[in-house]
């Protein structure tokens, strides 16, 4: 599914809707260039989970931040990941089986370590205020999820 997001607020609102609909244990992998809106979308998702969106920041030097809401949000930012070992050491594989919600920015860094099933969210910049979001399901639950978002 393709969506055009014409403002930061629209992206936040979509994230909020996603956050409200997600079932426990969901995994979202975010792709897209600098400033394409990955963190903005995660802020919206956090809000949908009952977490204050301002708490969510781009972790930059920190690979993982954890936020407590209706469900726990595990927010990975892999931009600075040097080797897969770095996240394996902090328990990456276990988080994938946790009841919380996992959001992974710069998921392309995972290469062969992408989860088996996940929702793919690929953002790209159209112009100053417009982003294109491509959603792709990896697994049956996420196919149904995309249908519910429409
Ligand atoms: N339609 C839009 N959706 C999302 N963000 C938008 C939109 N229009 C403008 N923006 C702006 O683009 C920027 C997106 O920044 P954000 O930190 O969310 O991107 P990012 O993909 O996480 O970047 P990084 O790769 O540095 O982590 C924000 O300043 C936001 O206000
Ligand atoms: Mg970011």
26 lines ligand 1 (CB under 6 A): no
**Cα 142 to middle of ligand 1, angstroms:** 24
Q: What is the pLDDT of residues 128-138, one digit of tens each?
A: 999 999 999 99
Question: Is the CB of residue 47 below 6 angstroms from any atom belonging to ligand 1?
Answer: no
pLDDT of the residue at 101 = 98
The alpha-carbon radius of gyration of the chain (Å, integer) is 14
CA distance 74 to 68: 9
CA separation, residue 57 to residues 3, 41, 42, 144 (Å): 24, 11, 9, 29
98-125 pLDDT, tens digit per residue, is: 999 999 999 999 999 999 999 999 999 9
Residue 57: per-residue pLDDT:
86
Query: Does 59 have pLDDT greater than 90?
Result: no
């Amino acid at each position: 599914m393709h969506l055009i997001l014409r403002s930061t607020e629209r992206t936040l609102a979509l994230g909020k809707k996603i956050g409200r609909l997600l079932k426990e244990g969901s995994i979202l992998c975010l792709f897209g260039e600098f400033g394409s809106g990955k963190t903005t979308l995660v802020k919206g998702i956090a809000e949908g989970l009952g977490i204050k969106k301002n708490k969510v920041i781009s972790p930059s030097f920190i690979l993982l931040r954890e936020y407590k809401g209706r469900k726990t949000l595990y927010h990975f930012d892999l931009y600075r990941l040097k080797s897969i070992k770095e996240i394996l050491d902090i328990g990456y594989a276990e988080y994938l089986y946790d009841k919380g919600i996992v959001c992974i920015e710069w998921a392309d860094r995972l290469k062969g370590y992408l989860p088996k099933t996940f929702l793919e969210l690929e953002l790209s910049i159209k112009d100053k205020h417009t982003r294109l979001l491509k959603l792709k399901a990896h697994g049956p639950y996420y196919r149904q999820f995309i249908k519910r978002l429409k």
